[in-house]
Amino acid sequence: MKNIRRIFITLMAFMMLVPSIAMANTNATVKTPAADLRATLDQLLSEHFVLATTYMMKSYDEAADRDAVWEKLDQNAADMTPAIASIYGEEAAQQFEEIFRGHNDYSDAFVEAAKSGDEEARQMAEQEVDEFVNEFGSFLATATEGNLPEDAAKQVLAAHEEDVVKVFDHYVNEEYEQAYQAFREGFNRMFDISKALSSAIVTQMPDQFEGTMADTPAADLRSNLNALASEHFALAVLEMQKGYDQAADYDYVTWAENQHTADFKAAIASLYGEEGAAQFEKVWQQDHINAQSDIVTAALEEDDEARQMAEDSLMMFAEDFGAFLGAATEGNLPAEAATEAVWMHEEQVLKTFDEYVAEDYTASYDSFREGYGFMFGIGETLGDAIVKQMPEQFGHDMMPEQMPDTGMGGMSDSSSTWMWAAFGVFALAAAGFVYRKQSNS
């Protein structure tokens, strides 16, 4: 659990930057036990998806950092074992670890089949997935004493695995736009899962969550911001790696970033109107996304002056974006605190990239996990500032009518709750463990 603890320490440090927000006394807030559970699931589930898809792409390319990605993917599973033990006992935890950590092995089977063009090997890999779905689905049903139906568990496990393989297959076929579209869809699906799962758990154990709900408008806003912030970090890191490697899919990662910017702009417009959205886009794109490319170019050309100019642009972005957030939230998020947090994020992106360039891949992916987790602190703090600014919009059971349907943080079919909850049970255990630890601290 070392990495998870480090991430939460980072988030706590971020909250110390804005004590006026953390201590504000208001009924409308994103900071509730149920919303915390949902946010933890947001992080665990989405990180798993990012690492799984990244590993398969890197392994297919025989990239030098593929082993480092694998280590973090494996650690993602290992981190959950103590939490399973705390809920279901050591025997169940051991069974969980054997099944869940073992299922990551199929990734190599798909990669080898793709590289060799061996259809029989591909079918065997697909059979391994089916066996995992059946075995793990049965485990979940038994562990929950039937509260999670076995068929539902198997359905959602299969759906997630299909998402990962779909990204990989498009990548192998050099259908890069489709690959990154599938990545975005599969990534955002994880936030749908966390909403359904956290809602089901809170309903099941209301006393543990002080009667709060995971699907309030404020919790939805926080989750939407979680998705936007964390996807930005994941794409920024990948875009800079691909640019430095001069990979064939580089332009399509930047395409995905542009699609993400459009989603972020729509969310800003829903809250602050078209004028605010236009101002956001100008600041976000000009001194931010473009500066990332300049950092890569400077690294390739070993141009220290160009690197410094790019860093200056990023600092200007942090100041401008901090000022924008401070003004937009009417001071509920102080501009100075916002600037500090945005620059901290930029430093994490740069650190992850610099360690990648130095071929210190273990350090780079350690930094990735820290930086990725930090984005959930941003989602929490910005969300809370907005909710305190607009309590009439977020203090009731329905989201504002203007809030865009970006595919993040909402289930279109409530009857799917148990199906999506199935995949999240293993993450629920980890989330519940972290939540209880925080509550007792």
Return per-residue pLDDT of the chain as tens, 441 residues: 444 444 333 443 444 344 433 333 347 899 999 999 899 889 888 999 999 999 999 999 999 999 999 999 988 877 767 756 765 678 878 887 888 777 777 888 899 999 999 999 999 999 988 998 899 888 877 766 666 678 877 887 788 889 999 999 999 999 999 999 999 999 998 898 778 777 877 877 788 888 999 889 999 999 999 999 999 999 999 999 999 999 999 999 999 999 999 999 999 999 999 999 998 998 888 778 889 999 999 999 999 999 999 999 999 999 999 999 999 999 999 999 999 999 999 999 999 999 999 999 999 999 999 999 999 999 999 999 999 999 988 875 433 444 434 343 333 343 333 333 444 444 443 333 333 334 444
pTM of the model as a whole: 0.81
Residues 6+ apart with CB under 8 A from 64: 359, 361
Could you tell me which of 327, 312, 321, 364 has the C-alpha nearest to residue 340?
321
Q: Are 269 and 406 in contact (CB under 8 A)?
A: no
Q: Are 51 and 75 in contact (CB under 8 A)?
A: no
- Token pair 């992850």: residue: 352
d(CA 126, CA 165): 10
Distance of CA 314 to the CA centre of its chain: 23
Q: Are 364 and 352 in contact (CB under 8 A)?
A: yes
